[in-house]
Chains A and B, each alone.
Chain A
Amino acid sequence: MSGAVVNELRAARRRLAIDSIGIWVLAIVIGTIFGFTAREGDLSLVETAAFSAILFAGASQFAAVGLLAVAAPWASIVLLVWLLNARHFLYAASIAPHAAALPRRVRAGLAFLLTDEAFALTSAHVARLGRIDLSGAWYAGFAIFLPWNLATLAGWLAGAALPDPATIGLDVVFPASMAGLAVGLVRDRAALVALAAGSAAAIGAALFVDASAAVMIGGLLGPLVGLVVANRSRGAR
């Protein structure tokens, strides 16, 4: 590798590390709340840990615990979890062209860690480098997996001794990190339109269709509108 390439890689990894600090905070705060919520929902320590380590998808974990609390049948819980996490298909599809040259076992391992936050960090890192950096991709995954699982255990064990995140403003950390990473990915007009259209479609879907489908609908429609607008402006020139 030439000096310039090494320097570019170092700079991108430094940015990844800095960006991940906020994600660590997010994982610790929300993971702790999940541990506490699961205990309140009568889940054992082992069951709670299994949800975070095996399912490993924050929103659907909360939804599952909520449904267990109202004695919903397992089939409906599993179906809701799958529907909520269907958006991860889009994440994987977005990263797949960059990861195609990686060994199959590595791709299978990276897939397990592909949460909202890992995708956000990885796609920003890929956008900076123009290619995938395997160490960076592993780091992005474990930057969520480790704090999330440790915080889940801490939340279950610490219980009611924890403060309400809203009292110290930490309830906005998750949407703020997603919005910040989305804005950071805007490199051209098409991406800006995709961001705006995806956001608007998600709001519309949450209001008029179903909240659980909002991200999927926004994620599918946003890029489509972005491409149409980009092609039109290219045609007008």
Chain B
Amino acid sequence: MIDPLRTDLVPLAILGGIGTYAARALPLLAPGADRLPAPVLAYLRLIGPAVLGAIAAANVFVADASLRVGPEAVAVVVGALIGRWRDNLLVGMAASVIAVLLLRATIAA
């Protein structure tokens, strides 16, 4: 039986949180962030699509250290395209969920 009020691992959460917060805070708190050269600003503007695409791609195209194009990858790509077409993230996410369920059912049949 776990004691719900045990606190042994709270310092570990704090230690992990310190480095995490540092990564999130340093660029925001560093002076001069609004006076960066134009090429740097252009680079920073492109981080959003690159990082978010990287998260999605690494999530659905790689499984157990090998390349995999399964129902999840197809569903996520289809959902992203539908979301872009309808200009609505929620519609795209719903499309991904429906697509993955349909693809899994088709494969299982």
| Residues in A lying within 8 Å of B, measured CB to CB | 18-19, 21-22, 25, 39, 42-47, 50-51, 54-57, 60, 64, 68, 74, 77-78, 81-82, 85-97, 99-101, 104, 107-108, 110-112, 114, 116, 119-120, 123-124, 127, 168-186, 190-192, 194-203, 205-207, 211, 214-215, 217-219, 221-224, 226-227, 230
A84 to chain B, nearest CB (A): 9
Structural contact, B28 and A215, CB atoms closer than 8 A: no
**Residue of A with least CB distance to B25:** A111
Cα separation A90 to B9 with both chains bound (whole Å): 29
Q: Which residue of B has the minimal Cβ distance to A156?
A: B4
On whether A47 and B7 interact (CB within 8 A), knowing A99-B28, A107-B28, A201-B54, the answer reads: yes
Report B's interface with A, CB cutoff 8 A.
2-10, 12-17, 19-21, 23-30, 32-34, 36, 39, 41-62, 65-67, 72, 75-77, 79-81, 83-84, 87-90, 92-93, 96-98, 100-101, 104
In the bound complex, do residue A101 and residue B34 qualify as a contact, i.e. CB atoms below 8 Å apart? yes
Give, as a whole number of angstroms, the nearest-CB distance from B8 to chain A.
7
Q: A88-B20, A179-B76 are in contact. Are A223 and B50 (CB under 8 A)?
A: yes
Query: In the complex, A86→B19 CA distance in Å?
Result: 8
Find B66's partner among A179, A186, A207 (CB 8 Å cutoff).
Answer: A207
Asked whether B55 lies within 8 Å of A108 as measured between CB atoms, the reply is no
B2 / chain A contacts, CB cutoff of 8 Å? 39, 42-45
- Closest Cβ–Cβ distance, residue A151 to chain B (whole Å): 17
B55 contacts A46, C-beta separation under 8 Å: no
